[in-house]
Amino acid sequence: MKFLFVEIIFPLLVLLFLRSVLKSIVAGFRSASAPQNRARQAPPQVSVGGELKKDPVCGTYVSTAGSLSQKVNGQLVYFCSAACRDKYRVA
């Protein structure tokens, strides 16, 4: 039984260990160079669904599904952020 361990199980364990080490090294390399790639791949947070409407304060186009809205004179106006909504209210 000792022969079986040394000749088969031990090499297998070493192999598995080396594989996990290699994987973590590769993952480390990827995460080290990832921030730029991720920023490039991330789509603009605009078209989540719904219609695109222009934020009257800053001019950004926002989707009606994922944005703040405010009823002004019976019409829904969409804003990219609460800050823009508050500015619009004040103006």
Q: Does 80 bind Zn ion (CB under 5 A)?
A: yes
| Binding residue count for Zn ion, defined by CB under 5 A | 6
Task: Extract the runs of DSSP E, i.e. beta strands, from the chain.
Answer: 52-54, 61-63, 68-72, 75-79
Nearest to 46 by CA among 37, 38, 55: 55
Query: Of 17-76, which residues contact Zn ion (CB under 5 A)?
Result: 55, 57-58, 60
Pattern 1-20, Zn ion, x by CB under 5 A: --------------------
Length of the chain: 91
Q: Does 77 bind Zn ion (CB under 5 A)?
A: no
Of 35 and 44, nearer to Zn ion (C-beta) is: 44
The span of 5-13, 20-28, 31-39, 81-89 binding Zn ion (CB under 5 A) equals 81-89
As beta bridge partners, residue 54 has 61
Are 56 and 77 a contacting pair, CB within 8 Å? yes
Of 33 and 45, nearer to Zn ion (C-beta) is: 45
**DSSP helix/strand/coil, 65:** coil
Residue numbers of the site for Zn ion (CB under 5 A)? 55, 57-58, 60, 80, 84
